Amino acid sequence: MEKRLLNSPQHTDENNDSALAEMFLNHALIEFRREVLRKEIDISLQERNKQAFLQLTEELKKIS
């Protein structure tokens, strides 16, 4: 049976992999939300819905 120490390189690699995966996932979620907002903004423009447009553009600014 293999023993792993807390300060061993394997533990550090696992932490780095986990942090990298979390960063990648967060980036993907933000990009997805930006794309959804852009589509909703386009729809609000087509429908001439000023209130929705202002709300959506404000949200897009916050995550950009």
What HEC string does 10-49 produce? HHHHHHHHHHHHHHHHHHHHHHHHHHHHHHHHHHHHHCCC
From first to last of its 64 residues, the chain has per-residue pLDDT tens of 555 656 655 567 888 999 999 999 999 999 999 999 999 999 999 999 999 999 999 999 999 9
Distance in angstroms (rounded) separating the CA atoms of residues 10 and 16 = 10
Q: What pLDDT was estimated at residue 11? A: 62
